[in-house]
Amino acid sequence: MTNVKENRPGPEVTLSPPVDAGNGLKTQEMVISMGPQHPSTHGVLRMELTLNGEIVTRAIPHIGYLHRCFEKHSEAMNDYAKVIPYVDRMDYVAAMNNELGYAIAMERLMDIRVNDRVEYIRVIMSELQRIASHLLAVGTFGLDIGAFTPFLYCFIEREKILDIFEKASGARLLYNYIWIGGLMNDVPADFKTDTAAFVKSFRPKIKELNDLLSHNKIFIDRTANVGVLPEKVAINYGVSGPSLRGSGVEWDLRKDDPYSIYDRFEFDVIVGQGEMGTVGDCWDRYIVRVWEMEESLKIIEQALDQMPDEGDVQEAVPKKIRPPAGEIYCRTETPRGELGYYIISDKSTTPFRVKARAPSFVNLSVLPAISIGAMVADMVAIIGSIDIVLGEVDR
């Protein structure tokens, strides 16, 4: 009689030939898979780990489980405006930022200028989205390591931002709100009041988060001196966003290559300083996101004060989008780093080429370089600290 148990497929584990470790002991490396359904991989990512005991000697990320052909879908649309819903679905927890980059790229290609009211609303929406994204990032990062309560606190605050988005666009995740030449519609009458109330209520919550999680001894022990990303390695790999600034590199496109009206606002670029361990470790990448939320509040406050009350948010929206023949590359600072769009127009209503430079994809590429020597449990912290979204990695 056949033993059914023996024929069942087991976990994907490969053993290397034994190596003499001296004193009559022999060791062997083991290759295991983490994912693609492992909760710490933040989506359908598969990590192929080569282990010597509990120590990682090699880490290879395998992607493509969420590939949706974003670029080819965009090139099949017979209208440039129809690309925006697909743009939303790349980094689906920072859809407003995705839309802003695409809209600015198309407006530069078509030489369209939008009025100040549109510009200020776009900035406010983008910074609210940055806070919402960072709340998700730090909340799930704590959850990965075992801190459940901060995750709930972060989501309570994130819901308040989604309420503001829902009033303006009708959606809570994928908005199609920032259009080429303007916005889907104007903000509701209580937009300023709601946003100002959120800013006022949220600022003390940052201190609460630091008391609860950032300076928690167990959290520090799990993240300080883990997954250290040196400055030169970060630059060589093209890392951007909080993952780059966590390594001490002061680079933010809102300051260093301003777009929209970001040159009108005063705010600081937050960098990692190695307060709890080594510059560029998991804790530094985490704390950069925490303090960036404070800087986003500063920008929102200034934008609310300066935003004009008059202005048609659709006055520059073209009836037919037919850009002149040419090409454009436009980059913006999203919550995960530099998002770039390279668009080629052949003078028709259909995009000839749409290429997205996704920060999550580039940032993920550095994972093998900072994982060697880590323990298996540390891999959970390292992946969480990079803050990837697989919809953007795979596109």
| DSSP track, 308-356 | -S---TTTT--SS--PPSEEEEEEEEETTEEEEEEEEE-SSSS-SEEEE
Q: Are residues 168 and 289 in the same domain?
A: yes
Q: Are residues 324 and 197 in the same domain?
A: yes
Domain final position from 62, 79, 96: 62
Distance CA(61)–CA(65), nearest Å, equals 12
CA distances from 178 to 47, 207, 319, 378 (A): 36, 32, 16, 39
Strand order across the beta sheet in which 326-334 lies: 326-334, 337-345, 353-357
- Token duo for residue 288: 């950069």
Q: Find the radius of gyration of the CA atoms of the chain.
A: 23
Instruction: Cis check for the bond before 36: say yes or no (omega within 30 of 0).
Output: yes
Domain final position from 62, 83, 99: 62
Q: Identify the CATH number of the domain in which residue 106 sits.
A: 1.10.645.10
Q: Are residues 18 and 155 in the same domain?
A: no
Q: Would you tell me how many other CB atoms lie within 10 Å of the CB of residue 230?
A: 15
Q: Are residues 133 and 74 in the same domain?
A: yes
Distance CA(260)–CA(123), nearest Å, equals 8
Q: Would you tell me how many other CB atoms lie within 10 Å of the CB of residue 79?
A: 14
Q: Are residues 118 and 16 in the same domain?
A: no
- Determine phi and psi for 383, rounding to 5 degrees: -60, -45
Distance CA(327)–CA(109), nearest Å, equals 7
- Determine phi and psi for 390, rounding to 5 degrees: -70, -25
Distance CA(195)–CA(193), nearest Å, equals 6
Distance CA(236)–CA(225), nearest Å, equals 21
Tell me the pLDDT tens digit for each residue of 23-82.
Answer: 666 678 899 988 787 777 778 899 999 999 889 999 999 998 888 899 999 999 989 999
- Token duo for residue 170: 């009708």
The whole-number pLDDT of residue 8 equals 39
Contact 241, 333 (CB under 8 A): yes
Q: Are residues 54 and 129 in the same domain?
A: no
Identify the residue whose tokens are 């920072």.
Answer: 94
Contact 109, 346 (CB under 8 A): no
Contact 58, 47 (CB under 8 A): no
Q: Are residues 282 and 383 in the same domain?
A: yes
Q: How far is CA 24 from the centre of its chain?
A: 49
DSSP string, 130-187: HHHHHHHHHHHHHHHHT--HHHHHHHHHHHHHHHHHHHHHS-SS----EETTEESSPP
Domain final position from 30, 62, 94: 62
Distance CA(223)–CA(286), nearest Å, equals 9
Provide the terminal-to-terminal Cα distance of the chain, rounded to the nearest Å: 49
Q: Would you tell me how many other CB atoms lie within 10 Å of the CB of residue 218?
A: 11
Tell me the pLDDT tens digit for each residue of 238-288.
Answer: 999 999 999 999 999 999 999 999 999 999 999 999 899 899 999 999 999
- Tell me which H or E stretch contains 384: helix 376-386
Task: Give how many domains the chain has, as a whole number.
Answer: 2
The whole-number pLDDT of residue 1 equals 41
Distance CA(354)–CA(342), nearest Å, equals 6
The whole-number pLDDT of residue 10 equals 40
**Residues linked to residue 343 through DSSP beta bridges, in sequence order:** 328, 354
Residues of the chain with pLDDT under 70: 1-26
Q: Which of 290, 37, 40 is nearest to 146 (CA)?
A: 40
| Containing structural domain, residue 339 | 70-394
Handedness of CA 102, 265, 117, 93 (dihedral sign): positive
Q: Are residues 29 and 109 in the same domain?
A: no
Q: Are residues 57 and 74 in the same domain?
A: no
Q: Are residues 241 and 341 in the same domain?
A: yes
Q: How far is CA 264 from the centre of its chain?
A: 24
CA distances from 314 to 127, 133, 152, 350 (A): 21, 27, 38, 22
Q: Is the pTM of this model over 0.85?
A: yes
Distance CA(146)–CA(314), nearest Å, equals 47
Q: Are residues 156 and 120 in the same domain?
A: yes
**Residues linked to residue 326 through DSSP beta bridges, in sequence order:** 345
Q: Are residues 10 and 116 in the same domain?
A: no
Distance CA(368)–CA(364), nearest Å, equals 9
